[in-house]
Amino acid sequence: MQTHFSEAARAKPHIHEADRILRTCVHCGFCNATCPTYQLLGDERDGPRGRIYLIKELLESDDGDDQVTQETQLHLDRCLSCRSCETTCPSGVEYHKLLDIGRAEVDRRVGRRPGERALRLGLRVALVEPKRFQALLALGQTFRPLAPHDLRDKIPPRQQPRRVRPDPTRHARQMLILEGCVQPGLAPNTNDATARVLDRLGIGVSPAPEAGCCGAIDFHLNAQAAGRDRMRANIDAWWPLIDRRGEATSSPAEVEAIIQTASGCGAFVKEYGETLADDPEYAAKARRVSELAKDLVEILREEDLESLNTSDASAGLAFHCPCTLQHAQKLGGAVEGVLARLGFDLAPVRDSHLCCGSAGTYSITQPVLARRLRDDKMDALEASSPQTIVTANIGCQSHLNSAGRTPVRHWIEVVDEALTA
Ligand code: SF4
Ligand code: SF4
């Protein structure tokens, strides 16, 4: 794609990066065929190619150009950041990076209505601090019957109290785990089940107490500076446990990996190195953290799973592969492979490349589209009448569960139960 930036504009880092990405697009439109919002709305501006043109026009126009309107912002807001288009694109266009640049620029130029600003700030305040989120969730669960219908669907019932985790220090192999911001409240069993399964494989799993939200929610809501601060805070929390140079030889084993059980967090932590590449203090540490970041499935698929005794590998499972696992981390088929090795039967799911509509905070900021995508996804998942749907990301799990249909769980929970039966 030809671009028309002045030399002065190209000297700005974000324009330089956008220009590089725009020039890789050959405007073939193949990406539209796998874009969920294009399929729903049929408008070129709600597909990847149209959004790329909108961003190009936006960045090439001058400040104050009245062609940049809230309509441009709306079409960019409707994008799920699902990256299905990137999987399809034959030219390797890094669409998600261009989208981040475009969203920041359109917000700077046209601003946000007060209601939208309040919603976005409220989401960031409510979601990113685990203790605060758990307190709000407990309040919501108490008053759930009184909540409006739409909100009630999003508040899950209280879960059983956590079961005790095994002592991680009894193993020579050690890994860190990112507990996440909303997952400990919404699905407290996921990380415990992970610790129990890995314990059987001789791996000790511990959280770094000071690590918190990965920063993805801030980035989703166009608060990139706050997101970068969260990345640095997590690096500071992990670094003393990663870098053992200079310690006595009797100190604990080096950590092999930083595990994420939510694929949305995993995709984001794997990009810490790239996102903080220009930060002189953190660039090298961020690169190391990204190298160590692993989705849970990447750990399990390397282990001797056949030595585990799965006495209750239940039939009747369907797997929803999150976009952050298949399109961002390129791990499509990995969970299915692990579950098959453990003896589970999985039903095929049509249109498995399509997003369920969760997409970070999309289900709250774009509720109508998100509900349509959710219901279409549930229809596809339920086609084989499974007893349980499993997935690999807390956002997808909560969003799909809000339909009140077949229960949706993290896949490690059904593995844990099969092993402990
Ligand atoms: S498939 Fe790739 S190259 Fe073709 S229009 Fe879409 S982004 Fe551009
Ligand atoms: S990220 Fe998803 S919703 Fe956005 S343009 Fe690409 S395919 Fe469409």
The pLDDT score that the predictor gives to residue 413 is 94
| Segment 48-92, tens digit of pLDDT | 999 999 999 999 987 766 667 889 999 999 999 999 999 999 999
Atom 4 (ligand 1) nearest CA: 28
Helices (H), 211-262: 216-220, 224-242
**Tokens 């692990």 correspond to what residue?**
338
Comparing C-alpha atoms, which of 378, 373, 372, 376 is closest to residue 391?
Answer: 378
The CATH code of the domain at 308-420 is 3.40.50.1860
Tell whether the model's pLDDT for residue 250 goes beyond 90. no
**Distance separating alpha carbons of residues 224 and 103, to the nearest angstrom:** 11
- The ranges assigned to domains in the chain are 7-111, 308-420
- Residue 403: predicted pLDDT: 95
Q: Average the pLDDT over 379-398 and give the result.
A: 96
Compute the distance between CA of residue 168 and CA of residue 48 in angstroms, rounded to an integer: 45
Mean pLDDT of 195-221: 91
Q: Is the CB of 89 under 6 A from ligand 1?
A: yes
**Secondary structure of residue 267 in the 3-state scheme:** helix
- pLDDT score recorded for residue 383: 96
Dig out the tokens for 359 from the structure: 């997409």
pTM of the model: 0.91
What are 195's two structure tokens? 């610790």
8 band by pLDDT with thresholds 50, 70 and 90: confident
Q: How close is the Cα of 391 to the center of ligand 2, in Å?
A: 20
* Ligand 1 contact, 25 CB (< 6 A): yes
Residue nearest to atom 7 of ligand 2 (CA): 35
User: Mind listing the pLDDT tens digit for each residue in 169-202?
Assistant: 999 999 999 988 888 888 889 999 999 999 999 9
CATH code of 7-111, in short, is 1.10.1060.10
Q: Calculate the average pLDDT of the chain.
A: 90
Q: Per-residue confidence at 100, pLDDT binned at 50, 70, 90?
A: very high
Is the per-residue pLDDT at 251 higher than 60?
no
Q: Which of 230, 294, 238 is closest to 266 using CA atoms?
A: 294
pLDDT at 252 over 70: no
Band of the pLDDT at 162, cuts 50, 70, 90? low
277 or 152, higher pLDDT: 277
**Considering only CA atoms, which residue is closest to atom 4 of ligand 2?**
79
Asked if 3 and 56 count as a contact pair (C-beta separation under 8 A), the reply is: yes
Q: Which of 126-130, 284-288, 305-309, 401-405 has the lowest mean pLDDT?
A: 126-130
Percent of the chain's residues with pLDDT above 70: 93
- Confirm or reject: Cβ of 96 under 6 Å from ligand 1: no
Coil, helix or strand at residue 62: coil
Q: Sorting pLDDT into bands at 50, 70 and 90, what band is 138?
A: confident
Pocket of ligand 2 (CB under 6 A): 35-37, 48, 51, 79-85, 95
| Pick from 40, 115, 97, 102: nearest CA to 73 | 102
CA-proximal residue: ligand 2, atom 6 (nearest): 85
